[in-house]
Amino acid sequence: MPGRETMTLPAYETLTTDILILGSGGAGLLAALHAHDAQPRASIHILVKGLLGKSGCTRMVQGGYNAVLHPQDSLELHFRDTLAGGAYLNDQELAWTLVAQAPERIRELESRFGCFFDRNPDGTLHQKPFAGQSFDRTVHRGDLTGIEIMNRLAEQVLRHGLPTLEDHRALALLPSADGGGVAGALCLDVRRGTFLVIRAKATLLATGGGPTMYKITAASAEKTVDGLAMAFRAGARLVDMEMVQFHPTGLLVGESGMSGTVLEEGLRGAGGHLLNGRGERFMAKYDPQRLERSTRDIVARSAYLEIMAGRGTPHGGVYLDVSHLGAAFVEQHFPGMVARCRDMGFDLAREPVEVSPTAHYLMGGVKIDTACRSNLEGLFVAGEDAGGVHGANRLGGNGVACSTVFGGIAGDSMAAYLAGRALPPLDEAQVRAALAWAVAPFAAAGEEDVYALRDELKALMWEKAGLVRHASDLKAAQEALAHLRWRAARVRVHGTPRLNLEWQEWLNLDSLLTVSDLIVASALERQESRGSHYRSDYPHPDDGQLYNVYVQREGEAWRLWRQPVVFSRLKPPATGTPERAYLAQEGE
């Protein structure tokens, strides 16, 4: 391409649709199916960064799906568990919507879309134990639940003939010319290297989060927080971006890309032990009541502290040991985990395996209401791109439930939104600006290595803004991120746009840098320890007034502010109660 000063912007094709769905995980596909049910004549297009049903994080769900089905369980118990796990930062209306609609969604997945879940001998759905739950309510398909759900949903999308654009990535949400709303998105056909402007009456952001800005991560490789970066740049309001969940048991496999892959929580629920490098069962020091069945934030931080204290394994982790449960039991109940470990040369059923905390999930995201509406007209959000449901920490089993529950709601909401609505006018100047940004690295003057920059970012976020945080580290991270951003602008991409992996990596890096800035700034703003956010300089929760941290771009600047948590259904337990004592230990 020519130099920046003489560069002409590339041409683009245009596609018009009623509903544009960015993302093809559980949230995106449920939204498409629900919208199609409600408005069969509406045009619906699904954008897939990878391949339909083969990419994204829903497919990687192992453990299962939380839903109240047993007569001895109740929605109130599930709701209380979700709030306690979230340290009462949750948007309670969103949390209640999750638990209230999860049973209905499970029945829909099974009876309508054909998902097969494990059953008891009496024919009822089998539900296994997961951490932080007062009742065993996790529905599952062995230990590979996500594959079952995604296969069935993808089949239904194909059966209904809903158009999917595979190997397409969204680059920018396009504002409407009348201001305040979203008119569609600028997209890239990765295979052809060509641009596509998709105009839509309603746009759903369901790209999934995936904190891949950390050195050890469980998210699928193509997840680079594109949706959150696009939403922020478009002026969407984001909440609690400091809340990053680290799963306690990511498999350690040296320099392999498999490192960080989750060994599911059901292994601990079934009675697995965590041991430090000395062979000591260390969770008794951190949560003597629940031990390994404590919530993910506490278990992950406990493992990290053992490693940092010099009591880690030879490869810098801890051991997960289920061998005492018996090889036959482990192989029968966790065949996927046994096979995964065996592929890496480990025998999970008969020996301890090395694991490490692994960046797993973003509780923060775009603030939505119970209809999945954002503050931007025409923009709906569901799944991990949305914030507020999980508060300061997500319970295992609530993730895929959240994606499918709110995906279905988003589909219904968008279908209703279409009534009598015209296509919003497009701001052509914003299209040109987005195109100029996207192709800029082809004309950059520097020789920075984009792959080296991404490795530096991963190490920086792990060391300065990971499981244990401090103001001095966070401020150092802010300075380093600004310098990485300056260097990223000097990456020169070589070759042509067609299937250009270096260019794709630059686009990934831009999203990761944008969201890393938000995580670090929000972590500095929250001067307490709560849930997944632990500040060694503020090691205890501040119960004076619970607040959410919001961030929003306004023009070329952005602002950060606090708002008190609204306890619309349930107030936190009083100081001195057993439940409050449990919450307090999250800040120890």
Residue numbers annotated as active site: 247, 268
**DSSP alpha helices (H): ranges in 442-574?**
450-464, 471-488, 501-525
3-class DSSP state of 531: coil
**Beta carbons within 8 Å of 578's beta carbon, 6+ residues apart:** none
3-state SS record for 273-285: EEECCCCCECHHH
DSSP code for 292 = G
Beta strands in 498-586 (DSSP E): 547-554, 557-564
Angle between helices 501-525 and 226-234 (to 10 degrees): 70
Closest CA to 335 of 152, 149, 141: 141
| DSSP string computed for 355-397 | EEEEEEEE--EEE--TT-B-SSBTEEE-GGGEESSSTTSPPTT
Residue in the block written with tokens 């849930």: 531
Residue in the block written with tokens 């082809």: 442
Q: Which class for 336: exposed (0-12), middle (13-18), buried (19 or more C-beta within 10 A)?
A: middle
3-class DSSP state of 476: helix
DSSP code for 442 = G
- Beginning with the edge strand found earlier in the chain, give each strand of the sheet holding 353-362 in spatial order: 244-251, 353-362, 318-321, 273-275
Q: What whole-number distance in Å separates Cα of residue 424 and Cα of residue 458?
A: 39
DSSP code for 310 = I
Residue in the block written with tokens 């709560």: 530
